[in-house]
A = this chain, B = another copy of it.
Amino acid sequence: MVATKKDAVNDAANTAGPANTASSAKPSARERLLAAADELFYREGVHTVGIDRVIEHAGVAKASLYNTFGSKEALIRAYLDKRHTSVLDRIAVHLERYDSPREKLLGIFEVQSAMFSAPRYRGCAFIAATAESESGGQAEAASDAFRAELRALMADLAAQAGIADAQGFARKLHLLYDGGSVSARMDRDPSIAIVAREAAATLIDAALAASAAAA
């Protein structure tokens, strides 16, 4: 009974962790819990999925969950924080291939396109989690952090591109980003990301033209 039980969600040895340094074999309870939470919470919703489902899927005892995270809400927070870094990292990596700020801005929607086409895309995790949770909780805090960082990236790139009101313009791009997440899920239509990218290009060019005319 070394490999505990069965399924084991672990895709690979994760990067960091207090009790799992490099390659080796068995991920820590924390990592397995996070992987199970990520899969189940995202697929079925943080409210629908109970603690028992998570620990069963992780192959971990209930006490380990409460020793590690303390509460379900803390586990939800950790799940959202993991999404936060993974999505923003994915965007950052993709944007490296471009030089111009305009291409980088459009590149954000290319990442969306890839995410929407993933086999089990179920919409933005933050939109879903906050829709299920009461306001003022951890889900809202995690969403605020994610949204602020994404919008700051958009504003930064818009400023580099030479758009006058970069902060205001970032709000418009964020509208398209959110709309894409919603549309892709509710209409079961991954191709909406291409439409969003087109609309973003139109808005960028119009903003650039206006900024140039004002200068």
Interface residues of A (CB under 8 A from B): 44-45, 47-48, 123, 126-128, 130-132, 134, 143-144, 147, 168, 171-172, 174-183, 185-187, 192, 195-196, 198-199, 202-203, 206
Q: Which residue on B lies nearest to A129, using beta carbons?
A: B131
Are B202 and A175 interface neighbours, CB within 8 A? no
Q: Which residue on B lies nearest to A44, using beta carbons?
A: B134
Could you list some 24 contacts between A and B, CB below 8 A?
A45-B132, A47-B132, A48-B134, A127-B127, A127-B182, A130-B185, A131-B131, A144-B186, A147-B186, A147-B187, A168-B195, A171-B192, A171-B195, A172-B196, A172-B198, A175-B179, A175-B183, A175-B199, A177-B179, A178-B179, A178-B182, A178-B186, A179-B179, A179-B182
Of B134, B143, B198, B206, the contact of A186 (CB 8 Å cutoff): B143
